[in-house]
Chain A
Amino acid sequence: MPPPSEEFELLSAYLDNALTARQRQALEARLAASSELRDQLDELRAMCALLRATPALKPPRDFRLDPARYARRAWWSRLDILRLTGALGAAAAALLLALGILLASAPSAPSDSIALQATDISTPAMTARMFAPTPTTPVLAVAPLMATVAPLAADALEPFRATPEVAMEAAMLMATETAPGDASAAASEMPDMPEAALPPVARLLILLGALLLIISGVLFFIGTFRARL
């Protein structure tokens, strides 16, 4: 015969059908032999029935959430849009970075080579052919972007304020291409131009690319993190 509290635990678990087969058989044998134990079980059973019949209380108010207030979670749960934006942004960033690196490496340090180019008539024409289409397009495309980014990163963009000059030079280089005869004249003017006019475009592209990469990364991270939350 187990001690009373153990006995009670057996009866309690027996009511909930939570005994092992062996425990149940042992208890049932003792129940059959002891009317006292049967009374205990009956009392416990009646008490549980009473508790189960505890009168239900009416909730004093409705606990539904106000959709107008909580609907904004819908935005959070549409995480795939965040992640998609992040991924597309990263792709665009990679493109910008690639373009920037290409621009930075292709001219083989133009500031140094300007003097050399001035001596060789064919070189400025060649560089012009190489760069005339590229600088104009990125500059045009990048200018509005820069306008939006400028307030955010005014300091960072300080070196790129020379963009109009870049455009000017690009136009001038185009002019050299259309009129190769003036190439030497144009080339002789070149040293007067601000130093390293092309690399800033490349640097701008790289900076924008890096910025976009960071933003995309953050978006993607938020998307992924929110999904796990």
Chain B
Amino acid sequence: MSDPQAQSDDLTLVARARRGEVQAFNDLVLRYQSAMYNLAFRLLDDADLAADATQDAFIAAFQRLPQFRGSNFRAWLARIVTNACYDALRRRRRAPLSLEELSAERAEGNAQPALVSDSDESPEQLAMRRALSEAIQDCLNQLPLSFRTVAILSDVQGYSYDEIALALNLSLGTVKSRLSRARQKLRDCLRAVRELFPSAYHLLEQEDETP
């Protein structure tokens, strides 16, 4: 996933952004905002909190750009987003929602944001993917935060062990064992999903056959 061409393009943009070119930084934002918002949402399961955390993270990244060392901008950014999400969770724990707010959230259907979708996708397919998205989220929510983070980075977003170790400041061994334990828990939860969404698996198997 950390394709060398993308990485060197990133570094060119980083160098320009460091010289104060907001436009160059905004090119990086365009490149990563979807991935970073998805990371934040999967961690927080809250559309508004995720949007705020993502925005905070991009502002923080711009301000801390001179501190960026190394060559993996994506992992560095993921670290900032993850920390922004942890901050949001801490704040939420300190000021829990009132019952009214909670029921209001429920009434909104605990809305997940719209899915990215092709124009040729049928309404049924879209509904199925939407249900799948929510089912996966439910399973992720059951994981302890540190396992959830590793599972999202690795299995949802495709980060390598090295990148995760970099982003979360963990040793490779810790990444490996946390990911294994997260997958073990996810497997048990997703077995039910598999029964609910045989077509999702079926879809995947078809995709696998066509390279």
B141–chain A nearest beta-carbon distance, Å: 13
A16 partner, pick from B25, B36, B54, B161, beta carbons under 8 A: B161
Known contacts A51-B186, A77-B18; can you find 5 more A-B pairs with CB under 8 A?
A5-B181, A9-B176, A48-B155, A50-B193, A54-B136
12 A-B pairs within 8 Å (CB atoms) are namely A12-B179, A13-B176, A47-B186, A57-B116, A59-B38, A63-B54, A66-B22, A71-B20, A74-B20, A226-B66, A227-B66, A229-B66
B200 partner, pick from A16, A53, A60, beta carbons under 8 A: A53
Residues of A contacting B20 in the complex (Cβ-Cβ under 8 angstroms): 71, 73-78
Would B22 and A67 count as touching, CB distance under 8 A? yes
Cβ-closest chain B residue relative to A45: B208
A8–chain B nearest beta-carbon distance, Å: 5
Closest 4 CB pairs of A and B: A74-B20, A51-B155, A9-B180, A59-B37
Would B23 and A56 count as touching, CB distance under 8 A? no
Bound-complex Cα distance A61 to B177 (A): 36
Residues of A contacting B183 in the complex (Cβ-Cβ under 8 angstroms): 8, 12, 44, 47-48
Q: Chain A contact residues: over half helix, strand or loop, or mixed?
A: helix
B63 partner, pick from A43, A46, A48, A73, beta carbons under 8 A: A73
Would B180 and A8 count as touching, CB distance under 8 A? yes
A23–chain B nearest beta-carbon distance, Å: 11
Count of A residues near B, CB < 8 Å?
43
Residues of B contacting A67 in the complex (Cβ-Cβ under 8 angstroms): 22-23, 26
Size range of the chain B interface in the assembly: 35 or more
Bound-complex Cα distance A57 to B45 (A): 12
0 or 1 for each of A67-100: is its CB under 8 Å from B? (1 = yes) = 1001101111110000000000000000000000
A22 near B: Cβ within 8 Å? no
0 or 1 for each of B41-56: is its CB under 8 Å from A? (1 = yes) = 1100001000100110
B2 near A: Cβ within 8 Å? no
Would A56 and B34 count as touching, CB distance under 8 A? yes
Bound-complex Cα distance A197 to B26 (A): 62
Cβ-closest chain B residue relative to A6: B180
Give the one of A12, A13, A74 with max B CB within 10 A.
A12
A49 partner, pick from B33, B59, B204, beta carbons under 8 A: B204
